[in-house]
Amino acid sequence: MSTRAAMASGVVMMLAAVTMVFGAQGQAGAEQVVPQAIPSLKSWVPGGSSFALGAHARVLYAQDVLRDSATDLAEGLRAVTGNDVVAQSGSVGESGDLVLRTGSVPAAPESPEAYRISVSETLELTGVDVAGTFYATRSALQLLRRGTTLPGGVVTDWPEYRERGLMLDVGREYMPVDMLRAQIRRMGQLKLNVLHLHLSDRFGFRLGSDRHPEVTAQEHYSKQELRDLIAYAAHYQVEIVPEVDFPGHMNGILAAHSELKLRSVNGVVSDAAIDIADPRSYDLMRDILEEFLPLFPGRYWHLGADEFLLDGLRVASFEDYPQIGAYARATYGPQAQPVDALLGLINWGAAIVREHGKRPRIWNDGLHTGEGTIAIDSDIVVDFWSRAGIAQLPLPYFGIARTAVDLIASGHEVRNAAFTPTYFVTGGPTSIGNVPAPIAYELWDPAVFVDGSRLTPQQNAGNLGSGLFVWCDDPTVRTPAQIAVSITMPLRVMAQKTWGPARAGSYLEFAALSDAVAEPVS
């Protein structure tokens, strides 16, 4: 297909297979049993006594902050082995026990998510921080799922990227809380740490609002449901990043505020875009931000800022809205360009986000090379999905949007949200661009962006990571349960890509191992 061909020609290179370093020389012809997990383990050094899970094993936690991780591991081991495994406080195990602790992890780069598993008569799981210890339990559970005996040695593991995520478009298709919880559990098993919720779009504003109940969709999440979900996610080391998209994709909000819809000079009314030249628009957007920013304790708030002038398949330009140009000149000076109104809105929203102790994020397509007289604030994280720009048809492989290299050089951190292959569209015409998991696995890694450009290692330090972005353009095509099944292998591939190494054996080997050790689909 043409979209897949474009992706293949843009990405250009296949990554070489990653070889694990085993660190010890065995006798000639001797074979070492290498522990395997998904995502794959960075380092395995064999040696010493083997481990056999005791029939009445204990999972000991040396610090109280690890109690939940120990309890969860004990439950998982009981489920997959049938052994009588219990969790309890303690730091010295006996043969067949597992011990959880935090501490230093030699031979790993500096990361709070790094961990070590020392395999001997006991299984010692040590993380730099709580997150690292939790990930050690996920690997241990996978290893023991294949058999309750492990060869002696030491696993050292750490992530390549800081952000490894899943985005769900619940604005177009409401997904029940139970389904979200199931995905969080799956994310924990795969060492994915960011759940990005796109909470407002064409078919609904999914937050239960007290200030503006008129904008809340019939199917929505109450504040208590969200508090509970946030706490549940934290148990699995998953941070929730909320997104309420401004100033486009606001159909669910503007259905109750038609007076604020963007109107062209010819009288064409947008159902998706708010009029950023109208002061009342800022009052409504501020109300929404101020109400919901305190609800989410995480580090980020996503402001959207994408496809402002794209309404369905109708593409407009700033020339169609002279009031926006007039507003930009009145606000930012006589030399201002119409796009400055959008850039100023981004900075305006970012300031409100910072007032609540969070860092702002946006999509990249509204940032055009050489356009505008003001710059957006450099602390804004940019999710980079397209080179097309907001005033072009959505062909994301080329166009006028600033490059990832340019944004990083300007001080921004970016996340690689390349339309191909990180997007999974559940239905509608754009779903033709879905890249099969084997192709993504063989041909792509998070340093390669949508236009085929690859960041240098120095530039890639400004790349937070990537993940799977699930868009529900046509919410009638798949139910939430069907979506959950459909993203099983794409999500596993993205977990491997972002934790690293980017490729561990052939895809067939990876898929077989995934089915043997990875998370349940439900």
**Residues 187-235: pLDDT tens digits?**
999 999 999 999 999 999 999 999 999 999 999 999 999 999 999 999 9
The closest alpha carbon to 186, from 484, 516, 435, 500, belongs to 484
Q: Rounded distance, CA 49 to CA 123, Å?
A: 11
- What pLDDT band is residue 110 in, cutting at 50, 70 and 90? confident
- What pLDDT band is residue 389 in, cutting at 50, 70 and 90? confident
Q: Rounded distance, CA 155 to CA 169, Å?
A: 37
pLDDT of residue 107: 85
- State the DSSP code for 451: T
* Record: fold of 199-402: TIM Barrel (3.20.20)
- What pLDDT band is residue 155 in, cutting at 50, 70 and 90? very high
b/e string for 318-351 if b means 16 or more Cβ within 10 A? bebbebbbebbbeebeeebbbbbbbbbbbebbbe
pLDDT of residue 518: 83
Q: Rounded distance, CA 387 to CA 365, Å?
A: 7
Q: Are strands 58-61 and 86-89 parallel, antiparallel or unpaired?
A: parallel
C-alpha dihedral (194, 200, 206, 209), degrees to nearest 10: 110
26 or 144, greater pLDDT: 144
- What pLDDT band is residue 311 in, cutting at 50, 70 and 90? low
pLDDT above 60 (res 254): yes
- State the DSSP code for 208: -
How is residue 44 written in tokens? Answer: 């395995």
pLDDT of residue 108: 86
pLDDT of residue 244: 98
pLDDT of residue 290: 98
Please check whether residue 38 is in contact with residue 514, taking contact to mean a CB–CB distance below 8 angstroms.
yes
Please check whether residue 407 is in contact with residue 447, taking contact to mean a CB–CB distance below 8 angstroms.
no
Instruction: Please tell me the CATH code under which domain 43-157 is placed.
Output: 3.30.379.10
How is residue 107 written in tokens? Answer: 């031979």
Q: Rounded distance, CA 3 to CA 454, Å?
A: 19
pLDDT digits (tens, 9 = 90+) for 2-44: 333 333 333 323 332 222 222 222 333 334 578 999 999 999 9
pLDDT of residue 503: 84
pTM: 0.92
- Backbone phi and psi for residue 255, each to the nearest 5 degrees, phi listed first: -60, -30
Cβ neighbours of residue 20 closer than 8 Å, sequence gap 6 or more: 34, 40, 41, 42, 43, 44
Query: Helix, strand, or coil here: 333?
Result: coil
The closest alpha carbon to 276, from 308, 244, 252, belongs to 308
Q: Rounded distance, CA 236 to CA 362, Å?
A: 25
Q: Prior bond to 421 cis, omega within 30?
A: yes
What are the angstrom distances between the C-alpha of 273 and each of 47, 154, 372, 451, 471? Answer: 62, 55, 20, 27, 19
How is residue 506 written in tokens? Answer: 């052939």
Average pLDDT score over the chain = 91
Q: Rounded distance, CA 52 to CA 151, Å?
A: 9
503 or 32, greater pLDDT: 503
- What pLDDT band is residue 316 in, cutting at 50, 70 and 90? confident
The closest alpha carbon to 202, from 306, 276, 272, belongs to 272
Q: Rounded distance, CA 126 to CA 97, Å?
A: 14
pLDDT of residue 181: 98
Element (H, E) at 288: helix 279-292
| 163-185 average pLDDT score | 98
- What pLDDT band is residue 119 in, cutting at 50, 70 and 90? very high
How is residue 223 written in tokens? Answer: 């504040």
| 358-365 average pLDDT score | 97
pLDDT of residue 67: 98
What are the angstrom distances between the C-alpha of 486 and each of 427, 466, 514? Answer: 12, 19, 15
pLDDT above 80 (res 393): no
Q: Prior bond to 35 cis, omega within 30?
A: no
The CB density around residue 164, as the number of other CB atoms within 10 Å, is 28
pLDDT above 50 (res 159): yes
pLDDT of residue 317: 87
Q: Rounded distance, CA 447 to CA 498, Å?
A: 10
The CB density around residue 438, as the number of other CB atoms within 10 Å, is 15
Nearest-Å Rg of the Cα atoms of the chain is: 24
pLDDT above 70 (res 517): yes
| 451-465 average pLDDT score | 97
Instruction: For residue 307, count CB atoms less than 10 angstroms from its CB and return exposed for 0-12, middle for 13-18, buried for 19 or more.
Output: buried
pLDDT above 90 (res 390): no
pLDDT digits (tens, 9 = 90+) for 470-482: 999 999 999 999 9
pLDDT of residue 136: 98
pLDDT of residue 29: 32
pLDDT of residue 476: 96
Please check whether residue 362 is in contact with residue 306, taking contact to mean a CB–CB distance below 8 angstroms.
yes
Q: Domain coordinates of the chain in residue numbers?
A: 43-157, 199-402
